[in-house]
Amino acid sequence: MQTRRPSAALALLLVALPTFVRAADHQGDVSAVRVVRHMDKHPGSSELWEPYLAQWKGRHLVAAFGVKIPGKTDMGDIMASVSTDDGDTWGDPVPIFNHQERQGTLRFAYANAILYKAPEQEVMWAFAMRCPMNYRHSEDSQLVGAYSADGGRSWNPVELAMAYTGPLICVAGPYRVMDNGVPRYLFPMHRNTRRNDPLGSRDHFVLSSTTLMEWSLAAYVPQPVTGPKVFLHEGNIAPGDAPGELKMVMRTADYEDERKMTDPPRAFSTVSRDGGRTWSPAQQEPDLWNAKSKAFFGRTAFGTHVYIYNDGPASPAPGSRMALRYKLKPAGGGWGAEKTFYDAGIKNSYPTLIEVAPGDFRAVWDSGTKDRSRTHIQFGKFRVARP
């Protein structure tokens, strides 16, 4: 008996169907979960990691992520995928930064994709870290940029004008403030030169720009006034509790040994009341867990703060960086009870969210299996109700 093959039209339909995770496959308040990209589509890669998300216009979204080179801790290519139906389906990615492309006689690898769409510009920006290919990890990188004028379908690299010339690590995107009617962008950064140099440092700082092309040092975040020094890193800037105040919540680790968590494992925060020019000494957030993993911190249009984080430590395997949890803090109130953002019995990390309407968020994060991290990039929708 001859087996009938599906028609070309049916085959095309099957390919076009969105890749999704059924609601029964996970617990948590994120919905409409989709797989943006799986590492099976990238033969030779070791991971897909650290995604970022931006809105071009309306239902047009762009997700960027890293495609890791085997043998490197966190270096590879940066790719971007486009969705024109609010994340339901995602197109094949295009390169933003490609480690195969030479710059003269040099080749670089890249890490930590970041996307940003300034409301007054008709382009989308991509930022990442650039490091020579002979490096094992990206702890001593420089900032690199590119822009897209067609909604993320193609990218044009640009050489940024850097008044700050030291090594840096970026994880969260620029935050826009208005300064006498002129937009100014604050870019949270940290450095970790202490990993390879006993006389190096682990400092959190902020860069500033009015153009997104040139960047200068705005300020450092002071260490806590009391207690031991803390490795402050991967901070997210959002509006604070008081009018005109900015607040940044940061991932933490032991300052002397970055493999260890703080005791207890807590996020730290700092505030600025002068538009990001100075920041208060970092202090512990007693209600916010952080176990050496990037968390998302932001505020809704109606004033509720959101904190999304991993509930477990960064290591050891296999129980590390599994479920994503969240807490909410209404304006004038305190942090509420822990709730589940996404839990499927698999590894998850590095959530990034954007607010597309008051309280209505779109999210990306990297996911894996029960025993392996970062095999695919996921997308979902998340809503915060008005208090």
CATH code: domain of residue 126: 2.120.10.10
Q: Is residue 149 part of a domain?
A: yes
Q: Is residue 160 part of a domain?
A: yes
Predicted pLDDT at 81: 98
Q: Is residue 352 part of a domain?
A: yes
Is the pLDDT confidence value at 381 over 90?
Answer: yes
Q: Is residue 368 part of a domain?
A: yes
Pick from 341, 190, 164: nearest CA to 252: 190
Q: What are phi and psi of 9, to 5 degrees?
A: -65, -40
Q: Is residue 28 part of a domain?
A: yes
- Our count of domains for the chain comes to 1
pLDDT band for 18, please (50, 70, 90 cuts).
very low
Average pLDDT, the chain: 92
Contact 213, 158 (CB under 8 A): yes
Q: Is residue 11 part of a domain?
A: no
Report CA 312 to chain centroid distance, whole Å.
18
Predicted pLDDT at 4: 44
pLDDT band for 11, please (50, 70, 90 cuts).
very low
Q: Is residue 35 part of a domain?
A: yes
Q: What is the mean pLDDT of residues 99-105?
A: 87
| pTM for the whole structure | 0.92
pLDDT band for 248, please (50, 70, 90 cuts).
very high
- Domain around 368: 20-383
Q: Is residue 13 part of a domain?
A: no
Degrees to nearest 5, angle at CA 151 with 147 and 155: 35
Tens of pLDDT, residue by residue over 172-223, are: 999 999 999 999 999 999 999 998 888 899 999 999 999 999 999 999 999 9
Predicted pLDDT at 188: 98
